[in-house]
Structure 1
Amino acid sequence: MRRNKKERQQELVMTIKENPFITDEELAELFSVSVQTIRLDRLELSIPELRERIKHVAEKRFEDEVRSLPIEEVIGDIIDIELDQSAISILDIKKEHVFKRNRIARGHHLFAQANSLAVAVINDELALTAKSSLQFKRSVHEGERVIAKAKVTRIDNEHDRTFVEVKSYVNNEPVFIGEFEMFRSNKNRGGKEHEAGN
């Protein structure tokens, strides 16, 4: 059933409220209208574009939480973080991230997203990558959204090391896996060694 403009806009407001990270393309598909119509609706309703919504949520929630680097230095937008436990970021692959000839994302952007998330999740003012092991599972293309999920797997205070696993997905399909061994200054020294929260 096709909604009239008023009904669509009311539902649009509710949908974005429930999921601020939904794209205009996804909304257009959901409401069976063009992307242009969704953009006009957003303008009329004074709803900012996705990037601004993400930025607003991230800055509001994580500005004071991330200790190891300024939030603007994180590659991708952090949407959830629990220091020394887990973190999630999203990166929309755009023209500047891809090779011109085939529109495939350059690998270093996926690495940078994962690596900066591995740094951000560390509850310390100094966190550096000591070692990493990477697997690129499939090519990522322009227009795709990469969701990176970092999980702290082990903290070794004796050797000032934290081990972080980052898995990146496009539509729930794994595209990148990184294992990071992070050096930390350990100003928050606790016990000798422990497994991170399971």
Structure 2
Amino acid sequence: MARGNKNKKLRHQSLLKLIEENPFLTDEKLAEKLGVSIQTIRLDRLELGISELRERTKSMAQEVYSELRSLNKQELVGDLLSLDLGKRAISLLQTTEAMAFQNNNIVRGHYIFGQANSLAVAVIDATVALTKEANIKYLKPVYGGERLVAVADVIKQDGNNFYVEVNTSSDDKQVFHGKFVIIQKGEVK
């Protein structure tokens, strides 16, 4: 086998692994991680039948929205990508300059909080779930144009109270951490 084909095969394996581990990586990030051009990544994705980020995200979101119980799709801040009711949920928020302060392009905190809070409510397996308490920390600024991936984990349940931890990151760097107490007000499935 020619050396070029062997390198290509290894690169394809690495590309598949990276996207499996983090399906939200842009072509730019993939190119950076693999040390190749963006055009090479696009050609590799085409050859492997891997859709672009926008299509991967849309496909993941469409599969999970039907499981939502405590919120409607329109009430969730960001796109729901994964939902295991009562356990874990993941969402993606593509920030824009319109969400940011004009003088420094830093995204306003209520968008970041909104993503985390709505995800904490969405992960609860109840017809009605409301935020009772929130302890939040903004860990680093987020700039318009960044993609935020929020992961909500149900840590414990005590009666009708659910303790949910939400960690939000951008480019694999944590930007937000929140601990939420969500109270269930409806029947459990």
TM-score normalised over the length of structure 2? 0.76
Mean CA deviation greater in 69-78 or 105-114: 69-78
Cα drift, residue 85 of structure 1: 1.3
User: What residue in structure 1 maps to residue 26 of structure 2?
Assistant: 23
What's the CA shift string for 1:72-113, capped at 9, x where partnerless? 432122222211112122223222221121111110111011
What's the CA shift string for 1:103-139, capped at 9, x where partnerless? 1111011101100100110001111112212111111
* Alignment partner of 1:70 is 2:72: yes
Runs of 4+ in 1 over 3 A off after TM superposition: 14-20, 27-31, 36-49
Between the aligned partners of 1:63 and 1:71, the Cα distance in structure 2 is 7
Structure 2, unpaired ranges of 5+: none
Conserved 8 A contact 2:154-2:163: yes
User: Please, which of 127, 130, 133 is the counterpart of residue 129 of structure 2?
Assistant: 127
Identity of aligned residues (%): 43
Whichever residue aligns with residue 32 of structure 1, its letter is V
Between the aligned partners of 1:139 and 1:101, the Cα distance in structure 2 is 14
User: How many residues are paired up?
Assistant: 181
What's the CA shift string for 1:10-53, capped at 9, x where partnerless? 949x749746433132244346334x786798799996542232
Between the aligned partners of 2:29 and 2:163, the Cα distance in structure 1 is 35
Whichever residue aligns with residue 88 of structure 2, its letter is S
Between the aligned partners of 2:112 and 2:186, the Cα distance in structure 1 is 27
User: What residue in structure 2 maps to residue 102 of structure 1?
Assistant: 104
Whichever residue aligns with residue 85 of structure 1, its letter is K
Between the aligned partners of 2:65 and 2:131, the Cα distance in structure 1 is 22
User: What residue in structure 2 maps to residue 195 of structure 1?
Assistant: none
Q: Secondary structure at the match of 1:138?
A: coil
Between the aligned partners of 1:52 and 1:86, the Cα distance in structure 2 is 23
Between the aligned partners of 1:92 and 1:86, the Cα distance in structure 2 is 20
Structure richer in helix, relative to its length: 2
Cα drift, residue 186 of structure 1: 3.9
Structure 1, unpaired ranges of 5+: 190-198
Q: Secondary structure at the match of 1:64?
A: helix
Conserved 8 A contact 2:129-2:186: no
TM-score normalised over the length of structure 1? 0.73
